Structure 1
């Protein structure tokens, strides 16, 4: 019978234990609400703290504005540099092309002159090998 009494006691104790845990949880929730209310009160805080916070917000806004301006300035500077670089590179390319075109022109003139000289030399060789004029 003692075993039955012990089991009955244990069964009866479980709801009591659970009730105690529920009471503790609800007390914890009550404490949480109090802590939240206190932190909200702390968030509102003093005028001096609010003033300091507003100064920090102003600093954030000024810094954000500065970063934005620097980004825009950097973008425009890179665009200008890119345009200058492109123009300079195109100028260098044109100058090099003109230089090589001039070299090609000189080579053609030299080749034409060499062909002319070669033709004269061939004619002279032919005349020297086949004398038509005998004195």
Structure 2
């Protein structure tokens, strides 16, 4: 592509050079200067392109590193979340098991008190009937 661009530049320059009355040797020198300028410009463009490609490569590496570190962080967070959630579940289950145990003790105590009250009522009724 660079050569084609140079040829186009040369073709454009020739008529202008002919108008100025340059002979063949002068026009060849001018053509070489234009060609060298085009090459120098192309080298500069190539350097800029390479610089951009290096930026792309560094950015791609950065993104890759960020993805990997993000994955690691999320794995650690998932593990911590899982452990904490299991701990919370275990603590809540123990709390409810304790509540069930307390309710059963209370129920047994209430049943015992109810039986005593029933016996006392029966005795009072029998004592009242006997009197």
Deviation sequence 1:15-49 (CA, Å, 0-9, x none): xxxxxxxxxxxxxxxxxxxx895148879953222
After TM superposition, the score normalised by the length of structure 1 is: 0.64
Structure 2 unaligned residues grouped into runs of 5+:
8-37
SS at match of 1:46: helix
Larger Rg: 1
Equivalent residue for 2:53, pick from 51, 57, 60: 57
CA RMSD for the aligned pairs? Answer: 2.9
Is 2:85 the partner of 1:119? no
The CA deviation at 1:128 is 1.1
Q: Evaluate the alpha carbon distance shift between residue 88 and residue 49 of structure 1 in structure 2; reply closer, same or farther with a 3 A threshold.
A: same
Return the alpha-carbon distance in structure 2 between the equivalents of residues 73 and 44 of structure 1: 43
What are the within-5 Å matches in structure 2 for residues 39-78 of structure 1? Answer: 39=5, 46-78=42-74
- Which 5+ residue runs of structure 1 have no aligned equivalent? 1-34
Mapped partners of 1:59, 1:45: distance in 2: 21
TM-score of the superposed pair, with normalisation by structure 2: 0.66
Specify which structure has the bigger relative contact order, considering alpha-carbon pairs within 8 angstroms and separated by 6 or more residues: 2
Query: Counterparts in 2 of 1:9-48, with a 5 A limit?
Result: 38-39=4-5, 46-48=42-44
